[in-house]
Structure 1
């Protein structure tokens, strides 16, 4: 088991509930799980979230990039404090910029420059960067995650929704 990233549609009323529960971890995690069961707009990019972020930005999740829509696509805009799991949300006012940045990003070019060694040096999660024979499979996984994320944010934009990000 590892840290898996999930992204889900969050209507305005549920976003307000998330904000109210931000310091009640058990209730917050239950609410996030119940919300995922209620809405069909969600994606799971498994363990490739840190690698996807690195390929798109050149930075790992442990490095802060201020106001970067590609980073926000993967990690959300507002992380909740005092929670043992990573939970963040993105309000609908940022969804258009994120969706546009994903549309404009040239993933094919980025994957041509992909380096397992660079991922290892950046200490990215998950620790798979010594398996050089799996490089093409890893690149395919990153591309699949990117396409899923791009389609997800387009759908969120069409529904004028917010996004809840959980990495646990």
Structure 2
């Protein structure tokens, strides 16, 4: 499973909202293939959510900008996970990401807690230095895509598949 963060305009968001859940993910994949700006956090999305919030993304925290950074503010219905953050909702999320002291968080990280909480993927007994490096890269991508969406005055659609 991986998380894809795709920048979209207002018309595309309106179209996505009107789709039935069974075609939403395939439509997003078509947008990505057609060149819609997309950033992938790959397998580290749940690990980032746990690092930033202390809970798995399977139980996102409402009104928590760090949780929303990973899974979005709004969730589409259906079996697949698709969320959205509208352009006017990006600023507090970016501010929250900017306030994270990632070096401090990673210095104190307890990967055994990730394993105990069954955070996806089941890699938390791997080399801690490698895990820290992957989380660092994923955080940088997460921060970058939110800023990119804000700068482009676009909405951000998050799909985890």
The answer on whether the counterparts of 2:21 and 2:79 sit within 8 Å (CA) in structure 1 is no
Give the alignment partner of residue 115 of structure 1, picking from 87, 110, 115: 110
How many angstroms does 1:105 deviate by?
1.0
After superposition, where does 1:7-156 map in structure 2 within 5 Å? 7-21=5-19, 23-26=20-23, 28-81=24-77, 83-131=78-126, 134-156=127-149
How many angstroms does 1:63 deviate by?
2.5
Structure 2 CA distance, aligned partners of 1:120 and 1:4? 18
1:159 has 2:156 as partner: no
Query: Unaligned 5+ residue runs, structure 2?
Result: none
The answer on whether the counterparts of 1:41 and 1:152 sit within 8 Å (CA) in structure 2 is no
Q: Structure 1 residues 110 and 40, CA, compared in 2 at 3 Å: closer, same or farther?
A: same
Superposed CA offset, 1:57-77 (max 9, x none): 111112241201111110011
Structure 2 CA distance, aligned partners of 1:18 and 1:60? 26
TM-score between the two structures when normalised by the length of structure 2: 0.94
The answer on whether the counterparts of 1:5 and 1:47 sit within 8 Å (CA) in structure 2 is yes
The answer on whether the counterparts of 2:25 and 2:159 sit within 8 Å (CA) in structure 1 is no
Report what 2:3 is aligned to.
5
Range with bigger deviation, 54-63 or 70-79: 54-63
Query: Unaligned 5+ residue runs, structure 1?
Result: none
How many angstroms does 1:108 deviate by?
0.7
Structure 2 CA distance, aligned partners of 1:113 and 1:73? 21
- Tell me the secondary structure at the aligned position of residue 166 of structure 1: strand
| RMSD after superposition | 1.3
Name the count of aligned residue pairs: 161
